[in-house]
Structure formats: structure tokens, C-alpha cells
A and B are shown apart, each in its own frame.
Chain A
Amino acid sequence: MKPKTSGKSDGRKWHGTVLGVLLVYLFLPVAGTLLFSLARQWQDGILPDGYTLQWYGSIFTDGRFLAAVGRTLLVGVITVIVTLALMVPVIFVLNVYFPKWERLLQISVLLPFAFPPVVSAIGLIKMYSSGPVAITGTVWILIGVYFIMIQPFIYQSVRNSLSTINAKDLVEAAEMLGASRMAAFRRVILPNILPGTLVASLLSFSMIFGEFVMSRMLVGGQFETVQMYLYNQMNTSGQAASAVVVTYFALILVLSGLVLKLGAWKPKGYRSAQVEEE
């Protein structure tokens, strides 16, 4: 192909335009909501009549909103910690010592995709509404189902971290040098998979903050989460609801920023060791 400079810059213009349009498309709903949340009054004009922060003031002094945020934080933190505590050892053991059994995990991580919340909620309502474990309407059922929802992401990320650091070789080396298995796991593997695990935890956390279906079908108003609060607020005060949406988006933004920072972080000495090898 002849290197046509004009053709190349045309291509560049085209691709730039495509990305520009895409960004406008993706951010337009967010921008609209932001504008709405800052409007003092909005009659028929295209732009609001005046600007104010009163809607943010009103939600951040609303005890019900703060309680909903607190509840969601509580469920998120507990679920992520429990999921990590249960999943990380399993993924490690299967990945390093029983690779053949990993198929089991691959099936378990597919389950939430095969049975979306609206489907799996039916059996859960039936099982946990009465009888020995009547936990619908409480925080416990949410922790139970959110575990199922986030485990695929924890699995994916921890497994990727383990294969990046060649966990099997590291453990063998540590054992050869006299470390016990437990010590090898705690002092060699855990510090190395920490960043990847943190990334997965943050992603899981933002998923839990955005979850609505399970919280509506299994818990309802008895344990109001952020999304339930937003749903109820939508029908009472639109502008307060828009302030909630913007706050939610700001949270996702911060979490994504953290993910980006952590994702770029490499285990200490990892890169230089590779260079030496070459």
C-alpha cells in the first residue's frame, strides 16, 4: 500500500470522531442527571432557571438515605470478606495441587450467568420465607446471594494473578527452601496476589452497590439498600433522586480509578526478575 498521508489523517479524523461520539453517547445520561441534580427549578426551558446544591444537602441530611448507604456498605464489606476468605484458599489449592479439579470452579462460576437473579430468586423465596431458616427480609439472605453473584469475578482475578506469578513454581521453591505449605501460602503467594484480589474486591463492591433485583425480591423495604432507596425516591422527588444517582456514579468513578491504579501495580521485584532471566 502506498503511504498516503492524506488518507492516514482522514482515518485518524474518522476514528477520533467515532470515539468522540461514543463518549458523548455514554456520558450524556450521566451529564443530564448531573445538571438535573444541580437545578434549582426547571420549568420549560432547555436549561434550568438557577443552580443549587440543596438536593445534595437534602439527601445527605436524610437519615433514611444515610441508613441505606450504611446497610449497603455493611452488606458489601461482609460479603467481600467472606467470599475472599472462602474462595482464595480454594482457588489456590485447586490451582497449585489439584489442577484437574479446577473444572469444578469453572462450573460454579458459570452458575450465576445461567440463572439470573429473577430466576434464582424463586427457589430462594420459597426456601427461606418460612421453615427453619426464615431469613428473607434480613441481611443474611443478601450476603448469601451476593456471594454467589461476585464469586465469578473473584475467581477470575485470583486465578489470573496466580498464573501471572507462576504460583506452582513459587510454592515448590519455597517448600524446597524449608518453608511449610502454610508459610509458603501466607508469605509468598498472598502478598503477590494482593493487588489482583483488591481489584476484584473493588469491582465486586461496586456490583453490590448497583444490585436491585435480589434486594427487591428477597428483602424489599425491610432492609432498604441504596438501589431500593433510589427506586422509592424516584417517585417522590425527582431531583433528590438525581442527586442519589450522581452520588452513586461518583462512587463508581472513585472505585474505577482505584482499580486502574492497582491494576498497574506490579509485585515488587517481579519485573526485574524477568528481565534478569532474559
Chain B
Amino acid sequence: MARTSSIQNKMMLLVLIPLLVWLGAFELVPVLRMIAMSFQNNDGQGFTLGQYVKGLTNPLYGKAMLNSLKISFISSVAGLIIALVCSYSITRFTTKLRDRMIMISNMITNFVGVPLAFAYMILLGSNGMLTLIGKELGIRSIAGFDLYSEAGLTLTYIYYQVPMAILLVYPLYNGIREEWKEAAAMLGASVWSFWRHIGIPVLLPGVLGTFSILMANALGAYATAYALTGSNYNLLSIRISALVSGDIFPNFQLGSALAVILAVIMIASLVINEWMASLSRRRGL
């Protein structure tokens, strides 16, 4: 009896097979193939580190990495600060309103890529609504704003980071209980010293984890930048795509090496997030 049931149990694991085949065919094998290609020369032969050397020393690709890191860093920090302020304000309202706000944030996270780029062109393009208002009112920073520059791209990145950051930061505030605030106040702590000694240390691991997710989110992004500037603005994701599907002669080996570098940065971000989450858990939050 026990034996049949254990065989029956093992049989149930058969449901795993289609899933594993699928993951293999559309994720694992392609990724392994890409890693293998990154170590080949331009003809797809041999074993060489040349593509990595080229990717890391060629000023064009070096600049692309720098641009990607810069724009991701600035948009993540800005998104995070906005989300920290807004999420706290959200927690001050009734459950119904809180759920509404979270639902709106969730909804807006879908508003990325081509639609977002297009909407920003309508607002801040050379004949955009805000640009025209800026001209009318004589505000030069708005009237002369170049959406297709680094500043413009950063602005659109911040827009899609904000709702994502709110979704990630909002639950963190649940870790801070009202009783703690009352207790601290009863013991004579000011609002500032409560946040300085209790609030911020409690939030910190989660905030850092969120930051790394936002970094990864921005580093891997492609659609918004592509829709806004085509292949003109030099970002790592734009370079990779141009190398394998652009107008120029394709170079899969170099594209693969750059993609592996990007993937390593992404995985590092995820590991940091996981590490921060376990730090929070260990503190019993």
C-alpha cells in the first residue's frame, strides 16, 4: 500500500515535464547559446575573450554602459524618493482610498514603452502641450526642453519607476507599527528622532532592495528609449539590440558579450534584493 502510494506520488512529478521542456526551449537553452556565442570570434568559431575585451574597452560601448548606469541610477533614486514620500501619505488614509491608490499605481505600471514615449512627446515634444504653455508663460526651462536628450529620457524613466516603486515601498510601511510611534512619543522622543533611530533603520533593507529592483528594471528597459530616440541615444540595451537586429551588419558574438555583461549586472541587483529581504526577515519584520 505504502509502496503504490509512493509510486503514485512519483507519477505526479510527470506534470513537471512540459514545464521543464518549455523553460528549456525558450529560456535556458537560448541563454546558454548566447553565453557560448559570447566566447566566439566574429565568424562564430573558436574560443576567445576578445568580444568581452572589445565590449569593455571600445569607447562606444563603454559610454553606453556608463549612460545606462547613470540614467538608471538617477531615475531609481528619484523614483524611490517620490515613492517614499507618496507611499507614506497613502498609509495615512482609509483602507478604501489606499486600495484605490495601489490599484492606480498597478495600472500605471502598464503604461510604459511605446505608449509612454508617445504620451511624453505630446506633452514635452517640440510642439508639446507643456512646451507651448512654457513658451506662453516665458518659462525657458520648459519651452526649450529637449525630450530626446538625456534629461528627457531620464524624465520618462522616472515616470515609469514611480508607480513601480510605490508598489514595492508601500508594504514596507506596514512594518512600522503605530504603537512604536506612540511608545517613542511617550518616552519623550521627537518625531525626527523616532524616524532617525527606529523608522529609517527598519525601512532601510527594504528600501535598498527596492532600489536594486528599480535599477534592474531601468537597465533592462529598451522599449521606452527606442520609441523615443530610435537608436540615437547610446544605451547598453539599445546597442545590444542594434547589434543583433539593427540596420548594420549583425554581430551576434559582440551582442552576446554585451548581453552577458548586462545580465550579470541584473543578476547582481536581484541577489542584493534577495539579501536585503532576508536581512529584513531576520529582524523579524
Binding site for B on A (CB under 8 A): 1, 11-12, 14-16, 18-19, 22-23, 25-26, 28-30, 32-33, 35-36, 44-46, 86-87, 89-90, 93-94, 97-98, 101, 104, 108, 110-127, 144-145, 147-148, 181, 206-207, 210, 212-213, 216-217, 227, 230-231, 234, 238, 241-242, 245, 248-249, 252-253, 256, 259-260
Q: Could you tell me the distance in whole angstroms from the C-beta of B52 to the nearest C-beta in chain A?
A: 15
**Given the interface contacts A93-B15, A119-B240, does A227 sit within 8 Å of B220 by beta carbon?**
no
Contact flags B1-31 to A (C-beta < 8 A → 1, else 0): 0000000110011011011001101111111
* CA A206 to CA B216, docked complex, whole Å: 22
Range class of the B interface residue count: 35 or more
For the complex of A and B, 9 pairs with smallest distance between CB atoms? A123-B30, A116-B220, A29-B119, A15-B89, A123-B34, A18-B89, A1-B185, A123-B33, A212-B223
Label chain B's interface by main secondary structure.
Answer: helix
CA distance A111 to B20 in the complex (A): 13
Partner of A26, one of B104, B132, B186: B104
Residues of chain B whose beta carbon lies under 8 Å from any beta carbon of chain A: 8-9, 12-13, 15-16, 18-19, 22-23, 25-34, 37, 82, 85-86, 88-90, 92-93, 99, 101, 103-108, 110-116, 118-123, 128-129, 132-133, 136, 159, 162-163, 182, 185-186, 216, 219-223, 226-227, 237, 240-241, 244-245, 252, 255-256, 259, 262-263, 266-267, 270
A residues near B32, Cβ cutoff 8 Å: 123
Q: How far is the CA of A241 from the CA of B114 in the complex (A)?
A: 10
Contact flag A256-B107 (CB < 8 Å), given A90-B15, A210-B112, A249-B115: yes
Asked if residues B256 and A210 are in contact (CB atoms below 8 Å), the reply is no
A-B interface contact total, Cβ < 8 Å: 222
Separation of A230 and B159 alpha carbons in the complex (Å)? 20
Pick from A22, A125, A252: contact of B111, CB below 8 A.
A252
The residues of A that contact B99 with a CB separation of less than 8 Å are 260
CB distance from B245 to the nearest CB of A (A): 5
Docked CA distance A217–B240 (Å): 11
Give chain B residues whose Cβ lies under 8 Å from the Cβ of A125: 244-245, 252
Give Cα A37 to B205, complex, Å: 44
Contact partner, B31, options A32, A120, A217, A248, Cβ 8 Å: A120
